[in-house]
Amino acid sequence: MSEEQIMKLMEKLNEMDKRNVKMETLMQEWSSDVKDIRQLLREYDKRINELESHKDTVIGAKDVITWLAIAGIMVWEVLAK
């Protein structure tokens, strides 16, 4: 192999090394973004679960109040007769 060919190979290797460094940097940035997105999704999921739990509590209280109102009306009608 001639010295010129070796130099060309070295240049190509150097170029590939630079590209590799760029790719590693991009992958690290991407990985960081993915971690942030996962954390955000976990927070949203937690918030949604809290809201659903609160909704169930409100609906449960509403059902109890409705049941008590109906029972009160029925008792009142029985006592009124």
Q: What is the DSSP string of 20-78?
A: HHHHHHHHHHHHHHHHHHHHHHHHHHHHHHHHHHHHHHHHHHHHHHHHHHHHHHHHHHH
Q: What is the pLDDT of residue 25?
A: 94
How confident is the model over 8-31, as pLDDT tens digits?
A: 999 999 999 999 999 999 999 999
How confident is the model over 31-76, as pLDDT tens digits?
A: 999 999 999 999 999 998 888 887 777 677 778 888 889 888 888 8
